């Protein structure tokens, strides 16, 4: 014999589900548009702040968003700064990126390097690997900013690892063997490592 209370609960649950399904099926274009506007409206407001025609206000908005601790706002402000043609804005965004103690993923194209054994040893010295296409990969955790030496240190090393200026980023993968990087239009730091011939290197920054 079927329990009457169980049947009652089942009927109520089924009615609720059918009601929800009907509402979902009858969602109008106007309803969808309203929901879309609700989602993107706030984003557009942040973009408007970042694109303020007053450079001082735009910079202030970016700095506040970078320091907000909100991953979405930080990402939005970081992308804005990295793709800005203004070197000072780019510098501010890069500083915020390195202040966040990121993981740097460095890739080096060693396919044209004459001494492949030396290239392989050099990448392995970084704790990295070289794939079948002779591309070397290594990952480095950035630590605190060393005020005395004006650089960012690597977590497991005491030496300076990154130096930042308004025109370039210098990285020290090997002891006292600094590599100069510049930010390209894709939000990637690009440079050349001093092998023979020099090998192109890249570090993605933008999201």
In a domain, 48, yes or no: yes
Asked whether residue 94 is domain-assigned, the answer is no
**Judgement on whether residues 71 and 25 belong to the same structural domain of the protein:** yes
Let me know whether 172 and 148 are in one domain.
yes
Q: Is residue 96 part of a domain?
A: no
Give the span between the Cα atoms of 67 and 29, in whole angstroms: 38
| pLDDT per position as a tens digit, 23-66 | 456 776 656 655 555 554 455 788 888 988 888 899 999 999 99
Same domain, 140 and 56: no
Tell me what pLDDT residue 35 has: 59
**83 has pLDDT over 70:** yes
Residue 109 and residue 74 share a domain:
no
Domain that holds residue 198: 103-204
Domain count, the chain: 2
Q: Answer with the residue of higher pLDDT: 205 or 12.
A: 205
Least confident of 3-12, 108-117, 127-136, 183-192: 3-12
pLDDT at 3: 56
And the tokens for 113? 């390097």
Total-model pTM: 0.74
Q: Do the Cβ atoms of 149 and 160 come closer than 8 Å?
A: yes
Residue 126 shares a structural domain with residue 71: no
The confidence score (pLDDT) of residue 11 equals 47
Nearest Cα residue to 142 out of 176, 101, 114 = 101
111 and 30 in a common domain? no
Percentage of residues of the chain with pLDDT beyond 90:
57
Instruction: Share the mean pLDDT of the chain.
Output: 84
22 vs 177, more confident: 177
Give the torsion sign (CA, 79, 85, 88, 91): positive
Q: Report if residue 95 sits inside a domain.
A: no
């Amino acid at each position: 014999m079927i329990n009457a209370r169980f049947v009652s609960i089942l009927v109520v649950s089924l009615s609720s589900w059918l009601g929800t399904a009907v509402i979902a099926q009858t969602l109008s274009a106007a309803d969808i548009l309203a929901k879309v506007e609700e989602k993107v409206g706030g984003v557009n407001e942040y973009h408007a702040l970042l694109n303020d025609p007053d450079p001082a206000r735009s910079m202030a908005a970016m700095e506040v968003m970078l320091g907000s601790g909100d991953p979405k706002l930080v990402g939005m402000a970081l992308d804005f700064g990295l793709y800005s043609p203004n070197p000072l804005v780019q510098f501010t965004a890069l500083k915020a990126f390195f202040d966040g103690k990121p993981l740097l993923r460095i890739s080096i194209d060693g396919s044209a390097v004459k001494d492949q054994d030396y290239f392989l040893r050099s990448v392995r010295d970084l704790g990295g690997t070289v794939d079948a296409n002779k591309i070397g990969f290594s990952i480095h955790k950035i630590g605190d900013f060393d005020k005395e030496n004006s650089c960012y240190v690597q977590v497991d090393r005491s030496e300076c690892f990154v130096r930042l200026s308004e025109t370039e980023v210098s990285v020290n993968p090997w002891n006292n063997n600094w590599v100069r990087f510049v930010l390209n239009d894709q939000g990637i730091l690009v440079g050349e490592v001093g092998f023979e011939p020099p090998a192109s290197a890249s570090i993605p920054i933008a999201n």
